[in-house]
Amino acid sequence: QKEVEQNSGPLSVPEGAIASLNCTYSDRVSQSFFWYRQYSGKSPELIMSIYSNGDKEDGRFTAQLNKASQYVSLLIRDSQPSDSATYLCAVINQGYSSASKIIFGSGTRLSIRP
């Protein structure tokens, strides 16, 4: 079982709709969760970070965390063509007292169709 799992996609969503990206993780002691957006040929860009159960909203983006179900999601409202990218779910586990080791999912390719 992979430590962080995402559907690879592509996920195709019409412009203006809500895009829903999902991620599950295997280590119950995971404590920090991130969503990165990566355009082709570019570096990952932080979209959201979430540390506690519930929802966290930032503009058109909402991250949701459910530690009991070991599930984290990203909702993108009013999807725009510029949202077309690969979205990487990332998790940091406890146990690294000095340096943090991110575990990345394989990424979900999102395509917003006009």
Partner 1 sequence: DTEVTQTPKHLVMGMTNKKSLKCEQHMGHRAMYWYKQKAKKPPELMFVYSYEKLSINESVPSRFSPECPNSSLLNLHLHALQPEDSALYLCASSQVGPNTQYFGPGTRLTVL
Residues 15-34 that bind partner 1 (CB under 8 A): 31-32, 34
- Confirm if 32 and 51 have CB atoms less than 8 A apart: yes
- Confirm if 78 and 60 have CB atoms less than 8 A apart: yes
CA atoms within 13 A on the CB side of 66: 8
- Confirm if 90 and 107 have CB atoms less than 8 A apart: no
Q: Which of the ranges 20-28, 41-49, 52-60, 74-82 carries the binding residues for partner 1, by CB under 8 A?
A: 41-49
* Count of positions on this chain that bind partner 1 (CB under 8 A): 26
CB of 2 to partner 1, least distance (A): 11
Name the residues that contact partner 1, by CB under 8 A.
31-32, 34, 36, 41-46, 49, 88, 92-94, 96-102, 104-107
